[in-house]
Every structure is written in C-alpha cells, then in structure tokens.
Structure 1
Amino acid sequence: MAHWNFSLLFGSAVLWAMLIPCRAFPTGAPASACENMLPVHTGVQPQPTRAPYEFLLSSPSFLNGQPINIQILGPAYKGLLLEARSFGSNAALGIWKTPPNNTKFLQCSGNPHGAVTHSNTNLKTRQTTYTWLPPNSGCPPVVMFIATVAQSREIYWTNVKSKVIWKNPKATCGAQMLTRTWPAAALLSSMLLILLVYL
C-alpha cells in the first residue's frame, strides 16, 4: 500500500512538471520574449500562413514629442506583444503611453515602457488604440512596428510588421553629433594664426 501511494505521488509530480511548462501567459508576455517576440507556448508553433492583421497608423512620419496612434486591424485577438524598432535591431525603441484596457506595459531593452502586452485574455479589437512616442534623441531614419498577435494559445502569428514611418525633417531627435563650442576669442585667435601662416 505504501509503495502504491509513493508511485501515485511520484506520478502526480511528474505530470505537474510536464504540464507547467505548457502553460501560456494569460496575463502578458514574459520579458524573455522581448527580443525574439516568441510566446512561451510549449509544443505550439506560430501559424505558417500570412497573418490576417495589419496596422493602421495615424501618421506616415514621426516627430519627437508627437504621439503616433496604432490600431491592429483584423479579427479580435487575446494576446499581444507590440514594439517599435529600427531596421537591423531587436531593441525596443521609444515609449508607449498609457496602455488601453486589457493591456499593460512590458519592460524591454531596459525601458519600463518599451513594449505593450496583454494583461488578460479578454478580446481586443480593431478599436483598441495604442499610442507610441518617439525617443527624444537617437532617432533612426525609419521606424516600424512589430507584433506577435494571438487569437488563442494555439493560434498566433509572429513578425507582424507595419509599413515603415519616416523621421520627419523637422524632428530634432537624430543621432547627436559631438560638437565643440569655442569661445569667440579663441576662435578669432585661431583664424588670425591661419591667416599669418598663409601671408
């Protein structure tokens, strides 16, 4: 009898150990998904078909200090991981403003507001609007939005991308160049020395 109880206890422990990794994250993507955008849905692969989702953006260009509104058009969805990125980089760019209902911030690339993810499995629709702010410095020439969108634990798409948006010519958030400021007297002295050399 004692042997049977031990076997039952051991079998239960093994079963739980097998089931726990198979759980999805109903309250949001883990930080480990920030770079590869893959949900931890053990035994389930992303859909191989083209995603039935596209982005609706409020502007074709970005300007630091000016928010960009994003909507994901397509069927209702339960899970989401949404970031802004530049080409050739997995780092989350800019910050997201207060997430809409049923979503929350996810810290990515050391940025507490670097991404948005679901906070529950309630349905999100095309009316759900996400608001992004460009960084104040170090803006790349173009930005795109990238998402993983899940209709359920078993049905999800990764690498859903928006069209690129360009940095507005009026933007002041470009890569900062190193500049030296010279006092007027030093600048005048340097110019006089140059003139004397050539005279």
Structure 2
Amino acid sequence: MTSARKANVVGAPASACKTMKPIHMGVHSQPHPAPYELLVWAHSFTNGWPITVQVLGPEYRGLLLEARMFGSTAALGTWQSPPNNTRFLQCSGNPQGAVTHSNMELKTSLATYTWLPLSSGCPPFIAFIATVAHSRETYWLNIKSKILWRDPTATCGTEKFTWTATTVIGLLFHLLLLLSCI
C-alpha cells in the first residue's frame, strides 16, 4: 500500500484494539456518562448463532466495537458484513475481530452489527465493548453491553473454565454498574 493510500484509510488503527482509545492528538475521552448504549438482541450466545448489536443514541462518526470476556483485551468471535460506512479491523490476530468506521459520515442507531461467537473455546460469558465518537473532539470509551452467558447447549465451550481474580472482579464491577442503573 502506498503512503498516499494509507493516508486515506479511516477508522481505528490496529494499535487501538487493546485500549480502545482513539489516537486523536490533544483530545481526551469525555468524563461524563455516554449518551450511547449498546443494544444486544440476545440473552445468551452459542456457536453458529449470530448476535445483533446496535449503538443507540445520537448520530456518531467514529466507532470501535469488539466482543470480549471480562479481564481480557482479546477480541472474540467474528463480525459479519459490516454496514455502510464501517469496516473490519484486525484485532487479536483476527481479521474480523472488530468493527470500526470507514469514513466520517454520520452513522445512526439504524445500523446493525452482526457478531458470530467462536466455534470452539468460547468463554462462559462475554460483553460487547465500544468506543463511540460523536466527532473527533468528543468521544466516549468503555461503553459496555449487558453480559451474555454461553448457552448450556453451546458446543464451543466444553473445556473447563478457570475463574481468575481479574475475571471475578470484572464481573462483580459490571454487575454493580448494572445495579446502579436500575
């Protein structure tokens, strides 16, 4: 890819996959609660069944969206056919591990993002996490969805799961956040 073509690529860089922070020089994330919410059209997940995710709230220009297990920065599963004005971003070695914006056109809550769980080795629970930018200067980090538990019929998680302190603390923190919103 030529340097002129690289300059035209829009969206989060692969270096943002772990921290979810945009590289907007001189700009910091908003400290107040985000006007955005991640709507997930499922209560659990199982391999082979797609999950639909929407970003609810005002129009936005930038996005970085991943599925993760608490306590991990690895992007899980794969995204399918990103909607207009978005593209795949390779995260955690996965060519379809995240979705990001492909231009600065406005995106609305009508856009739906479709995610497929891992076919093997899936965790006991996941959540979707996003960074959403209203503009270059105004963005929010760590917008999280509700927790989705692996369905008991799933064949992707037959291996034994080991609870770590980080996983337990992350899960408890998320539950406390959910309870405070009620």
TM-score where L is the length of structure 2: 0.82
Give 1:56 shift.
1.2
SS of the aligned residue for 1:32 comes to helix
Percent of aligned positions with the same letter in both sequences?
65
- Tell me by how many angstroms 1:175 deviates: 4.8
**Aligned match of 1:167:** 150
Which residue of the partner structure matches residue 78 of structure 1?
61
Which 5+ residue runs of structure 2 have no aligned equivalent?
A: 1-7, 161-182
Q: Give the Cα–Cα distance (whole angstroms) in 2 for the partners of residues 101 and 66 of structure 1.
A: 22
Partner of 1:111: 94
Cα RMSD for the two superposed structures: 1.5
Summarize the Cα distance change of 1:27–1:95 in structure 2 as closer, same or farther, 3 Å threshold: same
Structure 1 runs not aligned, ≥5 long:
1-24, 178-199
For 2:110, the equivalent position in structure 1 comes to 127
Give me the TM-score of the superposition, normalised by structure 1: 0.75
Task: Report the alpha carbon displacement of residue 176 of structure 1 after superposing the two structures with TM.
Answer: 3.4
Q: One-letter code of the match for 1:90?
A: T
Structure 1: distance between partners of 2:65 and 2:15: 14
- Cα offset, 1:26, TM superposition: 7.1
Asked if residue 90 in structure 1 is aligned to residue 102 in structure 2, the reply is: no
Map Cα deviations across residues 33-58 of structure 1 (whole Å, 9 max, x no partner): 00000000011000000001111111
Which residue matches 2:45? 62
What is the alpha-carbon distance in structure 2 between the residues aligned to residue 169 and residue 176 of structure 1?
13
Deviating above 4 A after TM superposition, structure 1's stretches of 4 or more consecutive aligned residues are none
- For 1:89 and 1:145, locate their aligned partners in 2 and report how far apart those are by CA, in whole Å: 12
CA distance in 1, matches of 2:61, 2:54: 14
* 1:20-59 superposed matches below 5 A: 27-59=10-42
SS of the counterpart of 1:105? strand
Which AA in structure 1 matches 2:20?
A: M
Q: For this pair of structures, how many residues does the alignment match?
A: 154
* Mapped partners of 1:26, 1:77: distance in 2: 18
Q: Is the 8 A contact 1:80 1:118 kept in 2?
A: yes
SS of residue in 2 equivalent to 1:172 = coil
In structure 1, C-alpha distance between the alignment counterparts of 2:137 and 2:143, rounded to whole Å: 17
